[in-house]
Each structure stands twice: as structure tokens, then as C-alpha cells.
Structure 1
């Protein structure tokens, strides 16, 4: 296992936690925001949101040049508060949802992988989180 420090990304979303949770966890929403840039998309998502449940999101370049599955198994599911899971490669991810005056702070802490620079990984995950914020704010009201 790698011994690198976990990476943290976060955002504040102008939407109530119940809506944010729905957009984060339901497959029909996952396909709309789970990519870092507009030249990628998510053609497939499944999510069995329970402890020991599995999820899989297929991320693909729109030009067909590349695709991969982002998948894992849930260890913690605490509705509207926290999700923790282990990715297929063994890395851990912990996500918290905190309601603050009608807005929702989403914080993700994840173990980095060994292939790409830490800053690149942080930027990629932050881009996806920013995409989520945009999607959630556009659809919450």
C-alpha cells in the first residue's frame, strides 16, 4: 500500500443536504456530473448504496479513445452525513456532507494512487467536485 498522505478536496454547494445526497448517490444523476472535463462523459453508473454494497461508474472519453471503471465497496453509509468506501485498488475514500445554513459542504478525503502526481490527482478530483457543485446548484431548485 502507498504511504502518501491522503488528499482533501471540498466545496460549498448552494442546496440543501437532502438534494445534494440524492444527486451524489442516484445513478441517473451520477451520469450527469461524474467527469472532470467536457470531453469526457459517464455512459454507465450503478450504485448499491449500503454497507458492503458495490458501485461502478464508467468514465469515458467522448471520442472513444479511452475509458475506465471507477468502482468500489461501501464501508460506511450514513444518510445525509457520510459515505466511506474502498476502491477496487484498495485505496480508501471518505466523503462528508455537512449542512450549513441551507447550504451543503462536501468534503472528500482520498488515498492517492502511485501513477500520477499528487497535484494532478487533486486537480482531477476537485474538477469532478466542481462539476458536481454546478450540476447540484442547477437542479436543486
Structure 2
């Protein structure tokens, strides 16, 4: 097996565990934070159970052409309020799996089936730690691109769950 590059992000939120869990599992919350800075999420559907999936649509700002990119998070494991494991796939508008190239992803090294894990831990005093891992990137450039986007998404999530969203 060839070497892979993984995204690993740890973030603390000044919000209770249940609030951060809801941000990952409730469509209304997902629409508020999914997508990097300047992007919106006009669609989010969530069936949070093993064998279920989350389907999201990310829309680019007009200066980037306003394109839409769809993805599914095919859930393999759920421990409510603690862990979600899923396989990230790019999708067409109907939610059918497509390859990164078909989705218009220019970077080599983006996996067709990205293994993701989100672990939430209550820290006390109404704070929550998130530890997220995305596995399987084929090169550092693809990993770094994904990590940058994830960090921007989590900035938006922090504003949502900490009550500072504008």
C-alpha cells in the first residue's frame, strides 16, 4: 500500500457537547457551516445512523462562478454524542457517487472514498473538543487543500455553536 497523507484537526468549542453534536447531525445547522469561507450550503439532508447518510450541497460565491458541489457522507458508525465515522464521496445533484475528477476537483491525490471520523469529547464547563481525521489523501497538496477548507468550515461551526454567527 502506498503512503497516504491524513488531515487531523483538533478544535475546542465554547459550547456544550449536545450543541456541537447537533451542528453535525441537524440539516438546519449543517446548512449554516458546511463550506469554506464565502461558500453557502443550500441543501443538507441527514439520516444519522449506520447505513444512513448525510447529503450536502456547497455553493461557491459568484466571484468563483457560483458552482455547486454535492457530497455524501455515508455513515458507517455512530455513537450518539461521541463519534461519527463515514465515507466521504463526491456526488451528482441526485446524490449518486461520482469521482473527484467528475466533480471538477483539480488536485491529484483526493481519494474517491475518503474515510472520515469525528470524535466529540465533553471537557466540562460547557466546552467540547472535536477531533477530526480524514484519511487517504495521495499527496501533501491534496491534504493541505482539504485541511484548509475544513478549518474554514470549523470556523463557521464555532461561530454557530458559540452563538457569534452573524
Please, what TM-score do these two structures have when normalized by structure 2? Answer: 0.76
Matched residues in 2 for 1:2 and 1:52: separation?
A: 28
Matched residues in 1 for 2:2 and 2:120: separation?
A: 27
**Higher-Rg member (1/2):** 2
Residue number in structure 2 paired with 1:44: 43
Q: Quickly say closer, same or farther: Cα 1:113–1:68, change in 2 above 3 A.
A: farther
Contact 2:3 2:138 in 1 (8 A): no
Q: Unmatched 5+ residue regions in structure 1?
A: none
For 1:20-99, list aligned pairs within 5 A.
20-38=20-38, 40-63=39-62, 64-88=65-89, 89-99=112-122
Residue number in structure 2 paired with 1:3: 3
Matched residues in 2 for 1:9 and 1:131: separation?
A: 15
Instruction: Tell me how far 1:3 sits from its aligned partner.
Output: 3.3
Q: Quickly say closer, same or farther: Cα 1:66–1:92, change in 2 above 3 A.
A: same
Residue number in structure 1 paired with 2:158: 133
Matched residues in 2 for 1:111 and 1:90: separation?
A: 9
Contact 2:7 2:134 in 1 (8 A): yes
Q: Deviations over 1:44-87 (max 9, x none)?
A: 01010000001110001132532111213101111110000012
Contact 2:5 2:139 in 1 (8 A): no
Q: Could you say what secondary structure the match of 1:18 adopts?
A: helix
Q: Could you say what secondary structure the match of 1:30 adopts?
A: helix
When the two structures are aligned, how many residues end up with a matched partner?
A: 138
Matched residues in 2 for 1:116 and 1:56: separation?
A: 27
